[in-house]
Amino acid sequence: MFELQGFGDQILLGALMTLQLAAGAVAVGLVLGLLGASAKLSRSRLARAAAGLYTTVVRGVPELIIVLLIYFGTAGMLTALAGTFGHQGYVELSPYAAGVTALGITFGSYATEVFRGAMLAIPRGQIEAAQAFGMGRWLTFHRIVLPQVWRIALPGLGNLFLVLLKDTALVSLIGLEELMRKSSIAIGFTKEPFTFYLLAAIIYLGMTVVTMAGIHFAERWANRGLERSRT
């Protein structure tokens, strides 16, 4: 049944692209998540409202629509924008960039909530102590808050990454040659959809297992030296 007819390397290339896409999106998403959480916890009502709008809207719309919207929508906007800077010609968002942007925005909206919860879980006393020492806002944030936020947010972020890995399949629908797309191309030649989609499923499962192991070890490392309450 696993007669790949020479498409093995193509499939592996696709899997590699899937990982690249996930890596790009997670980078964008983490930044957006931190910004969003800070905005939600800020004193400015505008910031809180903007962040609230961001998370509500993005979490309520299918990822597929967001991917398609960004892919089709940004081309015109970017070209017009570049035009105002005197640049003639076409400015496009490649399927990779569109995928990273769309998935990054989605990841960021859920990550905002994870980071927000993590930031709220840091004992107020520590922040007050830091301020009593004379540490400025930024110093407090990146020496006291941030390191602890990572530890607390890790399980939640890990789950979001697992979801992200699966969402990368959607980007195949705008032509990015990741795993799903490569599988479809192989099927175009071999006419064996079940074989190749099963193979793709197994590869995704493999990625899931490796990621889960990675998260497990990351949590162990992040919690080193910490006394956990025993129930």
Partner 1 sequence: MKKLLAILLTTLALAGVAQAETLRIGTEGAYPPFNQIGPDGKVFGFDIDIANALCDAMQVECVFVTQDWDGIIPGLLARKYDAIVASMSITEERKQAVAFTGRYYSNSLRYAAKKGSGFSVDDLKGKAIGAQRATISAQYLEDNLADTVSIKLYDTQENAYLDLSTGRLDAMLADTYVNYNWLQSEAGQAFEFVGDPININDEIGIAVRKEDAALVERLNQAIEQIRADGTYANINAKYFPFDIY
Partner 2 sequence: MNFQAILDSLPKLLSGTVLTLELVGVSLLIGLLLALPMALMRVSRRPLVRMLPYGYIFFFRGTPLLVQIFMIYYGASQFEWIRESALWPILREPYWCAIIAFALNTGAYTAEILRGAIQAVPRGEIEAARAIGMSLPLAYRRIILPQAVRIGLPAYGNEIILMIKGSALASTITLLDLTGMARTLIARNYLPVEMFLTAGLIYLAMTLVLTQLFGALERRLGRHLRPHTG
Q: Which residues bind partner 1 (CB under 8 A)?
A: 24, 27-28, 31, 71-72, 75-76, 79, 82, 87, 89-94, 96-97, 100-101, 173-175, 187-188, 191, 193
Number of residues that bind partner 2 (CB under 8 A): 37
> 194 vs 217, which CB is nearer to partner 1?
194
Dihedral of CA atoms 110, 114, 119, 122 in degrees, nearest 10, equals 170
170 binds partner 2 (CB under 8 A): yes
13 binds, among partner 1, partner 2, none (CB under 5 to 8 A by kind): none
State the Cα–Cα distance between residues 115 and 38, nearest whole angstrom. 9
The yes or no reply on residue 6 touching partner 2 (CB under 8 A) is: no
Nearer to partner 2, 149 or 174 (CB): 174
User: Shortest distance, CB of residue 119 to partner 2, whole angstroms?
Assistant: 21
**69 lies in the binding site for partner 2 (CB under 8 A):** yes
**Per CB under 8 A, 145 contacts partner 2:** no
Told to check if 172 binds partner 2 by CB under 8 A, we report yes
d(CA 99, CA 208): 20
How does DSSP classify residue 80?
H
List the one residue from 197, 215, 218, 222 that touches partner 2 (CB under 8 A).
Answer: 197
List of residues 6+ apart from 182 with CB closer than 8 A: 7, 10, 11, 13, 14, 17
Q: Name every residue whose Cβ is closer than 8 Å to that of residue 199 and which is 6 or more positions away in sequence.
A: 2, 4, 11, 183
Comparing CB distances to partner 2, the nearer of 148 and 184 is 184
**Which H or E run contains 43?**
none
Strands of 32-153, DSSP E:
none
The encoded tokens of residue 231 equal 């129930």
- Residue 211's contacts (CB-CB under 8 Å, 6 or more residues apart) are 158, 161, 162, 165
**Residues engaged in binding partner 2 (CB under 8 A):** 56-57, 59-66, 68-69, 72-73, 76, 166-170, 172-173, 180, 187, 191-195, 197-198, 200-201, 204-205, 208-209
